[in-house]
Amino acid sequence: MDVDTDLGGRLQAASAIANQRDRIDAYLSLLSSLLTTANASDLAAFGRHFTTSTSMAMVVGRRVLGAYVSALSSGLDVPTLPDEAGDNAKWSELGKTAFTSEAGEDVRRAAIEGVLDSDPSGWCEEQTTALRHAYACILTRDEDWLGAARALMNIPLDGGSRLVPDDEKLAVYMKIVRLLLEYGCPTLAVTRSIPFLLHVLLANTPQCGESGRAQTYFSRASLLIHTSKDKEMNLSYRLSQARLFDFGARFAEAAQKYHEVSFNNSIDEDDRLQMLSAAVKTSILAPSGPQRSRILGSLNRDERVQANLPPYLSSMLRKMLLERIVRPDEVHEFERSLEPHQRATVEGGGTVLERAVREHNVGACANIYDNVGFDALGELLGLDAAVAEAMARKMIEQGRLRAWIDQPSSLLYFESREHNEDGEAVAGGLGIERVDNPIEPVTWTERWDDRIRATSLKVESLAEILQQRGLVSV
């Protein structure tokens, strides 16, 4: 006899029983026998019988489907359903017996997929959510990070038939972020520990599209993190934030977050040093200016940098801080330690590191020269004179270099400034600045229009003064 036909008949017979208690017993007896044979299609069909039904008695459906979920979730680190009947442990043991082997794991995965591929009814949202958590856990074990994240994305957290507490929403959002950050590094062994999370967030480079989605779910988590008192959750949030800053090329913010977390005593010493190393790298990659200057000074005062990090990192940090010219061989040694996204090409040509070093070397010239020609500056930076001039002009416009340009003479004149012993707030040719002036993201056309407008106003003002003094006649 066909197995599916036999199962269909037994399900139909059980559903025809009038007494709810007897109907529940019939369903549970059938579930017990299915777990003994462990056939994926039968288990999936049994689950769909409940999840797709629109006329299932709530008492019967919740009772039987709860046992079904407990069996399929056995041995997985996932949230459990309320033990209303007091027999979750029994069904969990039956599930462990059925799914402990490698073949059993395949049966469990196929059964859950068979249930979730259907369109579940709204009455069993709590049970199907538990199945999605179990499915995500299975995919995580198989290192299918993206599949696990997508399984969690399908959980209805807003607008469903149940009220989801904020802590549950936050846990799901942060798990999705972690999985999307894991995506792209299939060589790591999976654990639930904080050290693993550190390796994930520090070692992995998410794909571009997944980074954007990770940022979306991280933004949702940001609205809820203030409600959490869980230390591990807060640490996970801060690590994810640092990593997203890093991947988004917001290196100054990433360095600050990495450095803050490196002082957390709940993290192993080796992992704290890894965080410190990430802080140093991202601080060097950050655009020159007061913000980076402060971060460099803070890292330089951290004794762990000199004592525990590789010499090339501490040497590069020191040169950046004290505005000493960085040579190409030092750049190449440092570049080998960077991640792929940190070697990305930026607008105008060159990598992120090359841009950072060139801007740094422009500021470092102020310690040596009162002025420098653009031909010589271009030779030092490895650029054409016109490109070197454009870089210096941009830094001056953005307030990151205190200098002025004599275009007829093709010279860059540096303004005098003060120094402190830590070199703080002077990187990039700056004097000590107490307030960061925001840089407005305007186009060159808008800047040109603003300059013409400002010049016209000044001319008009001068004309009025001359007219008032009678120096000109109209």
Per-domain residue ranges of the chain = 1-142, 446-474
Q: What's the pLDDT at 51?
A: 92
Handedness of CA 226, 181, 232, 249 (dihedral sign): negative
User: Within its chain, how far is the Cα of 67 from the centroid?
Assistant: 37
Is the per-residue pLDDT at 17 higher than 80?
yes
pLDDT-based confidence at 80, cuts 50/70/90? confident
Residue 290 has what pLDDT? 82
- Give the range among 45-54, 346-355, 420-429 with minimum mean pLDDT: 420-429
**How far apart (Å, rounded) are the C-alpha atoms in residues 48 and 115?**
5
| Token pair for 7 | 């199962």
Bin 423: left if φ > 0, else alpha if -120 < ψ < 50, else beta. left
Give the per-residue pLDDT at 356: 85
Percentage of the chain surpassing pLDDT 70? 85
- Between 31-45, 242-256, 261-275, 439-453, the lowest mean confidence (pLDDT) is in 439-453
Per DSSP, the three-state class of 151 is helix
The number of angstroms, rounded, from the C-alpha of 397 to the middle of its chain's C-alpha atoms is: 31
| Cα–Cα distance for residue pair 167/157, rounded to 1 Å | 11
Q: How far is it between the farthest Cα atoms of the chain?
A: 114
pLDDT band at 425 (very low <50, low <70, confident <90, very high): very low
Tens-place pLDDT, residues 309-327:
999 999 999 988 888 888 8
Sheet holding 411-414, edge to edge: 371-373, 411-414, 403-406
Question: What does the alpha-carbon distance between residue 474 and residue 472 come to, in Å, rounded to a whole number?
Answer: 7
**Both tokens assigned to 121:** 């009814």
206 vs 86: which has the higher pLDDT: 86
Helix (H, G, I), strand (E, B) or coil at 289: coil
Q: What is the mean pLDDT of residues 214-227?
A: 92
**Residue 34 and residue 175: Cα distance in Å, rounded?**
32
Sequence-ordered list of residues with C-beta below 8 angstroms from that of 90, at least 6 positions apart, any chain: none
Average pLDDT over every residue of 98-106: 90
pLDDT per residue over 120-166, tens digit each? 887 888 999 999 999 999 999 998 999 999 999 999 988 767 788 99
Express each pLDDT in 247-263 by its tens digit: 888 999 999 999 999 99
Sheet strands (E) in 325-453: 371-373, 403-406, 411-414
Residues 6 or more apart whose CB falls under 8 angstroms from that of 155 comprise 129, 132, 133, 172
Per-residue DSSP letter, 71: H
Contacts 24+ apart (CB under 8 A), 244-248: 244/181, 244/211, 244/214, 244/215, 244/218, 245/282, 246/278, 246/282, 246/341, 246/342, 247/205, 247/206, 247/211, 247/341, 248/211, 248/215
Pair 148, 179: CB distance under 8 Å: yes
pLDDT band at 4 (very low <50, low <70, confident <90, very high): low
What's the mean pLDDT in 265-273?
90
Give the model confidence (pLDDT) of 337-385 as tens digits: 888 888 877 766 678 888 888 888 888 888 788 888 999 888 888 888 8
How far apart are alpha carbons 271 and 386 in whole angstroms?
Answer: 45
Alpha-carbon dihedral sign for residues 155, 160, 166, 167: negative
How far apart are the C-alpha atoms of 363 and 372, rounded to whole Å? 11
User: Is the pTM above the cut of 0.75?
Assistant: no
pLDDT at 3 over 90: no
Which residue has better confidence, 418 or 425? 418
pLDDT at 200: 46
Cα dihedral 365/368/372/377 (nearest 10): -40
Q: SS3 of 21, please?
A: helix
Q: Output 84 or 443, whichever has higher pLDDT.
A: 84
Mean pLDDT of all residues belonging to the chain:
83
**Alpha-helical runs (H) found in 100-165:** 102-116, 125-141, 145-153
Average pLDDT over residues 20-40: 92
pLDDT for 160:
66
Is the CB of residue 423 less than 8 Å from the CB of residue 322?
Answer: yes
Q: Where are the alpha helices (DSSP H) in 142-207?
A: 145-153, 166-182, 194-203
